[in-house]
Amino acid sequence: MTDIEQLLTRVAAEARNTRPWGWPSLPAPVDAATLDRAEAALGFPLPPLLAALYLRIGDGGFGPAYGLLPLLDSPPADEPPVVTQYLANREEGRRDPEWPWPEGVLPISHWGCGMYAGVDCHTAEATVLLFEPNADAAEQAWYTDAPGLAEWLRTWLDGTGWYEESNDDTDLQPWPGFPTRTAAAMPPAQAAQAS
């Protein structure tokens, strides 16, 4: 069994045994047609591990904090699905270029207070980012939560994430990719300042 298969087995077991706030039960996994529709709407593929979570474990409802959001269809919780949120965030960023949403960063989990975990679908390891909108400027609102989705899931399973009470003094590092991934959407003066 590969490391990823072992990780998916652990995630599946934890998903069956715990319910994040707002999820009455674990939703059924999505089918391949739903994944295809989601990727067509997004304009890019999901990283393989993220796709496997939705295809094999469930359409959201597991993971840290409030759990993963549903991929495409109506959620049982209050949050819109991943695809809807991503497209809305990108549109909002076009309307307010001082707060652009990076292309290819899917908001997959809500932390509360407007904070989201997002997966960078344009990196091989699917870097997980933290968006903290209470910052003074957009370039100060993005942090690297984990170098990859696999590591992010392991910290959840092992109880070692920054969000655990035992890790109150953990400082996340600013996401170095923000300036280059959003420069085209930002006003020229702000893009120069961010880089």
Q: Is 107 helix (H, G, I), strand (E, B) or coil?
A: strand
What CATH class does 3-159+169-182 carry?
alpha beta
Rounded to two decimals, what is the model's pTM?
Answer: 0.89
pLDDT at 188 (0 to 100)? 47
Nearby residues of 91 by Cβ (< 8 Å), 6 or more positions away: none
SS3 116: strand
User: What's the confidence (pLDDT) of residue 186?
Assistant: 47
Residue 77's pLDDT is 57
Q: What does the pLDDT profile of the chain (195 residues) look like in tens digits? A: 899 999 999 999 999 988 777 778 899 999 999 999 999 999 999 999 999 999 999 999 999 888 999 999 866 557 789 999 999 999 999 999 999 999 999 999 988 888 999 999 999 999 999 999 998 889 899 999 999 999 999 999 998 887 876 656 668 899 999 988 887 654 444 444 444
Count the residues in the chain. 195
The domains of the chain are located at 3-159+169-182
DSSP state of 139: G
pLDDT at 57: 97
Query: Residue 195's pLDDT is what?
Result: 46
- Separation of alpha carbons 156 and 159, rounded Å: 5
Q: What is the CA radius of gyration of the chain?
A: 16
Nearest to 11 by CA among 79, 61, 48, 47: 61
Structure confidence at residue 168 (pLDDT): 60
